[in-house]
Structure 1
Amino acid sequence: MKPMQFVLASGTALMTLGATLSFAQDWQPDRPINLIVPWGAGGSTDQVTRVTAPILAEALGVEVVVVNQPGASGAIGTQEVLNAPKDGYTWTANAIANNATYSVTGLLPDTDIDDWHIYLSVANVPVVSVPADSQFTDFGQLLEAFQSDMGRGISVATAGITSSGGTAIAALSGAADNFEYNMITYDGGGPAAIATASGEAMVTTQLAVEQTELIRGGRLKALAVLSDQPLVLEGVDPIPPITNWLPDMELAPDYFGIFLPVGVPEEVVATLDRIWGEEVANSEAIKTYAETFGAVFAPSYGAEARALAMPVVILEACDAVERGEAVNDPSTIGIDCETRTEVGVQ
């Protein structure tokens, strides 16, 4: 299987959808909006959401309150949003692959990608890192250890099985003869990275944005990025691509953003479409965040966002099947894992 090339929407090339914006009257909220981040503070979702929320608040004229509600790999906070009144005042933020595959993993059996209006801001990549004083100095040494008898004793800090770090280590195992490991879970990617830097775990596979400051500060040693290109971060040596060791590993960018449940009033969606196209797509704050922390500035919304999200959704859904972690077959959400394509639900 060939590595999947990263195809990202850039902010400057974004608004092919701009001409199709709804002409519905702008929504004017009259009270604060709750934006539920279903992960702990400091992780990848929390970081970019706290950069984005003030932009939305200024455009809407009301406060956008970011609320961390971690648990069950993001499912608890996500369910809270699904249960809330569909009045436009309760949103969520996450990696879109999570919202799209909670049904496959059994955490939220009755939801899929089409239960959400999608607003993407950045794409992220996982990085394999170890504490600064680790015995492992490159990924090849770590991979050899994973594949040896000591593999099951190597502790890997993640934010949970369905988190970016959890799916990253599982994908690495699947690409390298299904080695065993000992996963330790935390309430978010930030805490998992910090725990690794402090020696609580031997490895972390969380996202670059959750590790960058620890890597720059010399507390974590980055061994590989799950990409087919090196990751360049200011102040550190380029992080080599995982394809240097696993050339056939399938890869897809992990898109993050803000999601509104389907069923909110049309004027809410039309207003956020406009704000995303005019403000978020041109945001220097989000662009600077991405450039600083090793993400890709990639705003999109609507049908374009859904299309960009599907490669990682398909990858994670089908990998869950291969690992024996799928509770429900991806065909129930319209994914054919034999062809690794979206086919729709009959």
Structure 2
Amino acid sequence: MSQSHDLNRRGFLAGASALTLAGGAAHAQAAFPTRPITLVVPFAAGGSTDIVARLVGQKMTELLGQSVVIENRGGAGGNVGSTAVARATPDGYTILMGTISTHALNPAILKTVTFDAVKDFTPISLLALVPNVMVVHPSFPAKTVKEVLEVLRANPGKYSYASSGVGTPLHLSGELFKSLGKVEMNHVPYRGAGPALNDVVSGAVPIMFDNLPSSAQFIRGGQLRAIGVTTKERVSSFPELPTIAEGGLGGYETYTWNALFGPAKMPADIVARLNKAANDALKDANVKKRLNDVSAEIVGSTPEALGEHVKVELAKWAPIAKASGAVVE
């Protein structure tokens, strides 16, 4: 065999090997995910964010062919879990169920800022907008917004309200109610909406501003009495329930939202894969029905639209959060 022929053969084999490796790499990249994905919920189990995560995550598991495992990492109003995702490897295997709290309120009230809501995350999809609701234990002596205001004014500082943590939307919902209604209530913060809700259902704390999805079953079951929804308009799942504004507290409005984020600098193709799976999950008939049952408004956005949404929310809520005086250590 001549030297030139041998060199040509070696060149051919080297080229074929390179093509094989390149093809293998492309195949591996296209095959994402090849192992389970961890979806961090930065609050305790049982709250609205947890409910949305489990509904969407279960369907994403079917669509992606790999388990989407929910990991509840509560603490500091969602800051603990969010920080963990911000610092994770940006390979798509650790993602976050972010909220108005993690990406609009915390940046304004954290004593020590451990992440940048815009720069430290990759937006994936805005999933849903969620109304809040004011609920009371059935033993509380009021059934309407006006009656609640009368009771609180007649008993300043006697009653307390529970929330999912200092600086969360549920906390600020209560502070806004106090401010507009010129009433006094004691704030009792918990490590998530689930534990707070349990104490209100048991009667340990009489009042709570909660996300409607997590309170809906208790309202329908009679364990909680709904006073009013916090949105501008009534919701389809409880059409007879007035808004707090129309119930007697003009100008009152709060809400929350749920969205998927990854760490900064995630590859575009992985973001696209997760975005498609999340948005397709929202189109599933069962997922749509269950979210509609609790009046969550389904969105399903592009990554770019979620990125813009976060910037708008930061500008809107930062002044309100700071005015509340809330500080998360």
Q: CA shift at 1:114, angstroms?
A: 4.4
Residue 118 to residue 146, structure 1, CA distance change in 2 (3 Å): farther
Partner of 2:322: 321
Deviations 1:185-214 (A, max 9, x none): 223213222211211111010111111111
Q: Which moved more, 1:77-86 or 1:198-207?
A: 77-86
Residue 296 to residue 130, structure 1, CA distance change in 2 (3 Å): same
Partner of 2:273: 271
Over the residues paired in the alignment, what is the CA RMSD in angstroms?
A: 2.3
Partner of 2:44: 40
Q: CA shift at 1:156, angstroms?
A: 0.4
Aligned AA (2:106): Y
Aligned AA (1:166): H
Uncovered stretches (5+) of structure 2, i.e. residues with no partner: 1-28
In the TM superposition, 1:100-139 aligns within 5 A as: 100-106=104-110, 109=113, 110-116=115-121, 117-139=123-145
3-state SS in 2 of match to 1:242? coil
Aligned pair count reads 298
3-state SS in 2 of match to 1:206? strand
TM-score, normalization by structure 2: 0.82
Residue 69 to residue 119, structure 1, CA distance change in 2 (3 Å): same
CA contact (8 A) 1:44 1:189 kept: yes
1:174 to 175, 179, 184: 179
CA contact (8 A) 1:276 1:301 kept: no
Partner of 1:330: none
Q: Which has the higher helix share?
A: 2
Deviations 1:128-178 (A, max 9, x none): 111112211211121233345x3323110111122231121122223234x
TM-score, normalization by structure 1: 0.79
1:62 to 43, 61, 66: 66
Uncovered stretches (5+) of structure 1, i.e. residues with no partner: 1-24, 328-346
CA distance in 1 between counterparts of 2:43 and 2:32 reads 29
Q: Which moved more, 1:193-202 or 1:315-324?
A: 315-324
Q: CA shift at 1:252, angstroms?
A: 5.3
2:251 to 248, 252, 262: 248
CA distance in 1 between counterparts of 2:133 and 2:163 reads 11
CA contact (8 A) 1:190 1:211 kept: no
CA contact (8 A) 1:36 1:81 kept: yes
Partner of 1:152: 157
Q: CA shift at 1:219, angstroms?
A: 0.9
CA distance in 2 between counterparts of 1:306 and 1:174 reads 31
CA distance in 1 between counterparts of 2:319 and 2:244 reads 20
Partner of 2:6: none
Deviations 1:215-261 (A, max 9, x none): 00011110111122223436xx7211111212223x35421122112
Deviations 1:303-338 (A, max 9, x none): 2234445554434321112222368xxxxxxxxxxx
Residue 168 to residue 310, structure 1, CA distance change in 2 (3 Å): farther
3-state SS in 2 of match to 1:219? coil
CA distance in 2 between counterparts of 1:313 and 1:252 reads 14
How many percent identity over aligned positions?
26
CA distance in 1 between counterparts of 2:327 and 2:315 reads 13
User: Highest Rg: 1 or 2?
Assistant: 2
Partner of 1:301: 302
Aligned AA (2:270): V
CA distance in 1 between counterparts of 2:124 and 2:101 reads 11
